[in-house]
């Protein structure tokens, strides 16, 4: 049985004090969430140490939002994977569309980052998703297939076990426009097929695939009811502990 996960991507929001307060509220309410559902929060780098402390003893795991494509050295402003493990990160998000769009994140860089993270023992939440132009041109399957293959096909079957995929249609992020459950499901099923083509059906069945893009308490149930949707990567709604936990209770 593959894991169900609800992960909160805080993006560039909250001060450290606000982040700690949010993490404490999520940790306190996480006792309501059934054992079969994993919770993850991804605060900004500056918050990781304090948030790790706030989450101690709870079931909520810590994630980064990105990592460097080098192990260490003269890379001003970057954060290496061993720094993430040293503060207790279990996951890192990679390839978020905001990083692809605003910071020149390429598939080639993502391959390097993914391997560094996995070698350091950090699980990767790999984001894929088409933008509005690509969807309107009918290229969404192709775009998602290419992004998925570009990174996952460079991995071993063993490494695949530490990968979570997040399908985030760019046009649904922060816009209030959610993909319908049917739109999301057909892409999730496609991602699983792409994984199966390289690693086999059995391995593909074990990969957790999250949906992200205006996911909130009011639409999570419908999305999570789909066969290939194993949870969510939540932006805006993850900044409110009640909403975040409500989403995690939507399976």
Cα dihedral 134, 145, 230, 208, rounded to 10, equals -140
Closest CB 127 distance from ligand 13P, rounded Å: 7
Q: Which of 233, 245, 247, 248 binds ligand 13P (CB under 6 A)?
A: 233
Stretch that binds ligand 13P, among 69-77, 181-189, 218-226, 232-240 (CB under 6 A): 232-240
Contacts of 189 (CB under 8 A, 6+ apart): 227, 228
Closest to ligand 13P by CB, 94 or 199: 94
Residue 235 touching ligand 13P (CB under 6 A): yes
Integer Cα distance of 206 and 192 in angstroms = 9
Closest to ligand 13P by CB, 70 or 240: 240
CA 30, chain centre distance (Å): 18
Stretch that binds ligand 13P, among 45-53, 54-62, 73-81, 231-239 (CB under 6 A): 231-239
Integer Cα distance of 249 and 251 in angstroms = 6
Q: Specify whether the CB–CB gap between 190 and 163 falls below 8 A.
A: no
Whether 168 sits among the annotated catalytic residues: the reply is: yes
Given 96, 98, 105, 140, the catalytic residue? 96
Contacts of 149 (CB under 8 A, 6+ apart): 194, 198
Q: What is the phi/psi pair of residue 183, to 5°? A: -65, -45
Residue 144 touching ligand 13P (CB under 6 A): no
Given 105, 130, 134, 168, the catalytic residue? 168
Q: Name the residue whose CB lies closest to ligand 13P.
A: 235
Show contacts with ligand 13P in window 162-181 (CB under 6 A). Answer: 168, 173-174
Closest CB 167 distance from ligand 13P, rounded Å: 11
Whether 96 sits among the annotated catalytic residues: the reply is: yes
Integer Cα distance of 209 and 54 in angstroms = 27
Integer Cα distance of 145 and 200 in angstroms = 16
Residues 198-227, one symbol each (x = binds ligand 13P by CB under 6 A, - = not), give --------------xxxx------------
Integer Cα distance of 150 and 243 in angstroms = 34
Binding site for ligand 13P (CB under 6 A): 9, 96, 168, 173-174, 212-215, 233-237
> Which residues are known to be catalytic?
96, 168
């Amino acid at each position: 049985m593959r894991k169900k996960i609800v992960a909160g991507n805080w993006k560039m929001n909250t001060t450290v004090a606000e982040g700690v307060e949010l993490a404490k509220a999520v940790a306190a309410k996480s006792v309501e969430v059934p054992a079969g559902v994993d919770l993850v929060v991804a605060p900004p780098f500056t918050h990781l140490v304090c948030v790790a402390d706030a989450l101690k003893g709870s079931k909520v795991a810590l994630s980064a939002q990105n990592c460097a494509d080098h192990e260490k050295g003269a890379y001003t402003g970057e954060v290496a994977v061993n720094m993430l493990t040293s503060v207790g990160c279990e996951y890192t998000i990679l390839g978020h569309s905001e990083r692809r769009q605003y910071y020149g994140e390429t598939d080639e860089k993502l391959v390097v980052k993914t391997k560094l993270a996995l070698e350091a023992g950090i699980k990767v939440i790999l984001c894929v998703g088409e933008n509005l132009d690509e969807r309107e041109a009918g290229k969404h399957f192709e775009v998602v297939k290419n992004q998925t293959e570009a990174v996952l096909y460079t991995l071993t079957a063993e490494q695949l076990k530490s990968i979570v995929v997040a399908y985030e249609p760019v046009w649904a992020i922060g816009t209030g426009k959610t993909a319908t459950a049917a739109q999301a499901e057909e892409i999730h099923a496609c991602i699983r097929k792409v994984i199966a083509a390289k690693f086999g059906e059995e391995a593909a069945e074990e990969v957790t695939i999250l949906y992200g893009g205006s996911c909130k308490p009011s639409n999570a149930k419908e999305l999570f009811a789909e066969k290939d949707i194993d949870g969510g990567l939540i932006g805006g709604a993850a900044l409110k502990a009640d909403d975040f936990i409500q989403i995690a209770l939507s399976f």
